[in-house]
Amino acid sequence: MRAALLYGIGDLRLVDVPTPEYGPDEVLTKVTVCAVCPTDIRKYRVGNGGVLQFPFNMGHEWVGEVVEVGKDVDDVKVGDRILGGGYAGYAEYAPVGGHNLRPVKGKPLVIPESVSDEEATFVEPLADAIHSIVDQGKVKIGDKVLILGAGQLALQHVMVAKAVGATVIVSEPIAERRELARQFGADYVLDGSSTEEVVAAVHELTDGQGADAAIVTIGSPEASVTALAAVRSRARIVLFGGFDRGVQTTLDLNIIHYKEIELTGSYWVGVPPYGNPDLYGVALKLIENGTVPVGKLITHRFELENIHDAFDAIRTKAGMKAIIYINKPLTSSNGATDK
């Protein structure tokens, strides 16, 4: 079968590999689509810090159709569409088992007919955005939330925060992305080019108090400094975007001390010790009922052999979200405009 594997920094190859075997407690899936995640781009640029050994498959936001079922697997049958789990999405077939079956209340998460394959690729990142906003940011109705960045994950944060009932302020230096933030529900949009101007604007919009919470969705030390200066006493700052290895910055620790600010991270709800698989069910429901219209974030579609073009589109910020079609034809019937 074909698979796109990362052999080293900047060395992504489309290769032929054996079709994987599956165990009695696993299912074998035919991968239909896989989304390009910003963390894929970071791994491509700087590696994976030794967590995964080269070569490895970066794809982890994928959907597959079950083609074989292990004898010890219940609640999944051939033909079901499931949310892919683990680093396996940039390949024609993938085995899935255990927590990678994304169990919600003890049962594997099966995608309903009302949700498309493309939309389903957002279940995992949307669950992470919910965790970031609700669990780590502790955002509640009436809060004023500063979201730094307006990439596709930041816009999912915007939609989740609005669903919670918060007032959302977005800071973003790219004009086109500021306009998208408005379209996706941001109440106020600021040019994020200047820390001083952002901080002044946030304080003006919050009657001099500062934001109740700030979500740093980009791996920018400067954005973290901005967040610290823009929040009120006893606010929460969430570092959601991953940073390049070795990145450090200087923070005024007295601000944290005297204002009793909570500074925390937000990672991935898919695996222990961060696992909260029930959020996948929440995310799927928000997509299914249209509360979070994730499909509008898709800007590019490619077939697997053109995965380098997909990476270039996201790496250069030419698009928001790219979808890789694996075992599914890329035709005008699925809204495709790319190659």
Q: What is the pLDDT of residues 261-296, one digit of tens each?
A: 999 999 888 777 777 889 999 999 999 999 999 999
The runs of H, that is alpha helices, within 121-220 are 123-130, 152-164, 175-183, 195-205
Quick check: 330 pLDDT over 90? no
Tokens encoding 289: 């009922």
Quick check: 218 pLDDT over 80? yes
What integer pLDDT is reported at residue 132 of this predicted model? Answer: 97
Tokens encoding 76: 């999944």
Quick check: 105 pLDDT over 90? no
Q: What are phi and psi of 203, to 5 degrees?
A: -65, -35
Asked if the domains 2-121+293-334 and 128-265 are classified in one and the same CATH topology, the answer is no
Quick check: 113 pLDDT over 60? yes
Quick check: 336 pLDDT over 80? no
Q: DSSP character for 187?
A: S
Beta-sheet strands, E only, within the chain: 2-8, 11-16, 26-35, 61-69, 81-83, 93-97, 144-148, 167-171, 188-190, 211-216, 231-239, 262-265, 298-303, 321-325
CA distance to 10, 16, 42, 118, 246, per residue, from 48 (Å) = 12, 23, 8, 26, 13
- Across residues 99-105, what is the average pLDDT? 83
What integer pLDDT is reported at residue 334 of this predicted model? Answer: 56
pLDDT band, residue 101 (cuts 50/70/90): confident
The pTM of the full predicted model, rounded to 2 decimals, is: 0.93
What integer pLDDT is reported at residue 246 of this predicted model? Answer: 83
- Cβ distance 147 to 217 under 8 Å? yes
Tokens encoding 153: 């994950």
Q: What are phi and psi of 315, to 5 degrees?
A: -60, -40
Q: With b meaning 16 or more CB within 10 Å and e meaning fewer, what string describes 137-164?
A: bebeeebbbbbbbbbbbbbbbbbbbbeb
Cα–Cα distance between 161 and 67 in angstroms, integer?
38
The percent of residues in the chain predicted with pLDDT above 90, rounded, is 82
What's the mean pLDDT when you consider all of the chain?
A: 93
Quick check: 44 pLDDT over 80? yes
Give the architecture-level CATH label for domain 2-121+293-334.
Answer: Alpha-Beta Complex (3.90)
Per domain, the residue ranges of the chain are 2-121+293-334, 128-265
- Across residues 230-235, what is the average pLDDT? 98
Beta bridge pairs of residue 35: 61, 323
pLDDT band, residue 52 (cuts 50/70/90): confident
Q: How many CB atoms lie within 10 A of CB 45?
A: 12
Quick check: 50 pLDDT over 80? no
Burial class (CB in 10 A: 0-12, 13-18, 19+), 277: buried
SS3 of residue 2 by DSSP: strand
pLDDT tens per residue, range 7-16: 999 999 999 9
- Across residues 191-219, what is the average pLDDT? 97
Domain over 128-265 is classified CATH 3.40.50.720 = yes
